[in-house]
Amino acid sequence: MEYKEWIAIWLENYVKISVKPRTYEKYKSICESKIIPQLGNIRLNDLTPQLLQKHIAALSACLAPSTVNVAVTVMQLSLKAAVRQGLLLSSPATSVQRPKAAQNRVKCFSSQEQSKIESYILSRKKPYLCGILISLYTGLRIGELLALEWGDIDLKRGLLSVNKTCYYGKTAQGEYARIVGEPKTGSGMRIIPLPAQIVMLMKQMKKSALSIYVIEWHGKPVKMRSYQALFHSILRQIGLPVRGFHTLRHTFATRAIECGMDVRTLADILGHKDPKITLQIYAHSLMGHKCAMMNKLVKYCGLNISDD
């Protein structure tokens, strides 16, 4: 059996029934564009670790490490499944080496830039713009924000339930449409306590709500690309560098660390499964907090050394 034949069987009978539609589409796209053109015509028994490593090296020369790593994951999963089905004695992908992904330092808005964004949103008094403030003070991803319904919010207790996200992809009928589903991971399901000021803001928003969705446009849910474009337009208008909507999430996390929030609590609010993930992403922000705590320790102990 050729590798492309097994990939088709694996995708349809194993992947499709066990992962979310978005993951299935991602794996299928990777197979069609990054694996089958080069390896599809090779028989399963002729695949070797050396052959796969050579292909990974070729992909690494022209693609981002994150994309190549997804391709490696797909190869490993598909060939491991072939072993379980008795089509291979062992997987040739087990020992392949992944490209090392550089840890990019996350970007966030400074306190002054954040103030400019907040002042602009509040001065416009348009409810659909307030999603930007909600993300700034909850760390919600854009998909989680745009899938948020009023039924997910307890304004009396000041609690927000994250239980779904939205994205645009292919439906079961093959049509490109807005899809609402569960968060990417189990830890993405979470309860976020809302600051009192955000509760007040959302109470005002609900008075004029025309939809079950918190962020809506004339009673209809807002498209992700449209909201991202709107955010970029606002940044240009107030003279700030254009950054992705996800920068709001990074800004929330950075401010939380700066004001002394512990990493365990922050990880829970962000929906990170392990606080180690939070530590890795926001290590640069924690350094400033660590320095402040060290100086606070010296003041507390009363150590006094003069310059002369």
Enclosing H/E stretch for 38: helix 36-39
User: Same structural domain for residues 284 and 222?
Assistant: yes
Q: Helix, strand or coil for residue 52?
A: helix
100 or 32, which is more confident? 32
Average confidence (pLDDT) over 118-128: 95
Asked if residue 99 is part of any domain, the answer here is no
- Judgement on whether residues 26 and 68 belong to the same structural domain of the protein: yes
pLDDT tens across 46-98, in order? 999 999 999 999 999 999 898 999 999 999 999 999 999 999 999 999 999 99
Among 123-137, 159-173, 224-238, the range scoring the smallest mean pLDDT is 159-173
Residue-level pLDDT at 68: 95
Q: Which long-range contacts (CB under 8 A, 24 or more apart) does 41-48 make?
A: 41/2, 41/3, 41/4, 42/2, 42/3, 43/1, 43/2, 43/3, 44/1, 44/2, 44/3, 44/6, 44/79, 44/82, 44/87, 44/88, 45/88, 47/3, 47/79, 47/92, 47/93, 48/92
Q: Does residue 106 belong to any structural domain of this protein?
A: no
145 and 61 part of one domain: no
Per-residue pLDDT tens digits for 4-27: 999 999 999 999 998 888 889 899
**Domains: count for the chain:** 2
Q: Which of 68, 84, 100 is a domain's end point?
A: 84
* Domain shared by 287 and 138, yes or no: yes
Reduced to 3 states, what is the DSSP secondary structure of residue 114?
Answer: helix
The candidate with the shortest Cα–Cα distance to 124, out of 200, 230, 220, is: 230
Specify the pLDDT at position 172.
65
Q: 178 and 287: one domain?
A: yes
Residue 41 has pLDDT above 90, yes or no: yes
Nearest Cα residue to 293 out of 265, 267, 258: 258
Q: What is the mean pLDDT of the chain?
A: 91
Contacts of 254 by beta carbon, 8 Å cutoff, 6+ apart: 106, 108, 282, 285
Read off the CATH number of the domain in which 10 is found.
1.10.150
Q: What angle do CA 88, 15, 62 make, to 5 degrees?
A: 80
Q: How confident is the model at residue 107 (pLDDT cuts 50, 70, 90)?
A: confident
Full-model pTM? 0.76
Residue with tokens 């907090």: 289
| Under 8 Å between Cβ of 147 and 180 | yes
Give residue 54's identity as a one-letter amino acid code: K
Check residue 174 and give left, alpha or beta (phi > 0: left; psi -120 to 50: alpha): left
- Whether residue 96 is contained in a domain is answered as no
Same domain as 285, residue 146: yes
The type of residue at 76 is Q
103: in domain:
no
Q: End of a domain among 84, 119, 138?
A: 84
Note whether residue 235 is domain-resident: yes
Do 42 and 79 belong together in one domain?
yes
Considering the domain architecture, whether residues 122 and 30 belong to the same structural domain is answered as no
Residues of the chain with pLDDT > 70, as a percent, come to: 96
Helix (H, G, I), strand (E, B) or coil at 174: coil
Residue 104 has pLDDT above 80, yes or no: no
pLDDT-derived band of residue 308, with 50, 70 and 90 as boundaries? low
Residues 57 and 200 in one domain: no
Q: How confident is the model at residue 249 (pLDDT cuts 50, 70, 90)?
A: very high
Residue 144 lies in a domain: yes
Is the model's pLDDT at 271 over the cut of 80?
A: yes
186 assigned to some structural domain: yes
For the cut 70, the answer to whether the pLDDT of residue 200 exceeds it is yes
Q: So what's the pLDDT on residue 103? A: 64
- Measured CA to CA in angstroms, residue 200 lies from 123, 174, 219 at distances of 16, 42, 21
48 shares its domain with 142 = no
In the prediction, which pLDDT does 281 show? 82
Neighbouring C-alpha atoms within 13 Å toward the C-beta of 69: 8
Examine residue 305 and state whether it is found in any structural domain, yes or no: no
Instruction: Please state which of the ranges 32-36, 152-156, 183-187, 268-272 shows the lowest mean pLDDT.
Output: 183-187
- For residue 245, what are the domain limits? 111-293
**Domain end (from 21, 49, 84):** 84
Residues 165 and 68 in one domain: no
Question: How high is the pLDDT of residue 20?
Answer: 82
Q: Which pLDDT score is estimated for 85?
A: 95
Considering only 81-95, 129-143, 265-279, which range has the smallest mean pLDDT?
265-279
Angstrom distance (rounded) from CA 127 to CA 67 = 37
CATH number where 253 lies = 1.10.443.10
77 and 116 together in one domain: no
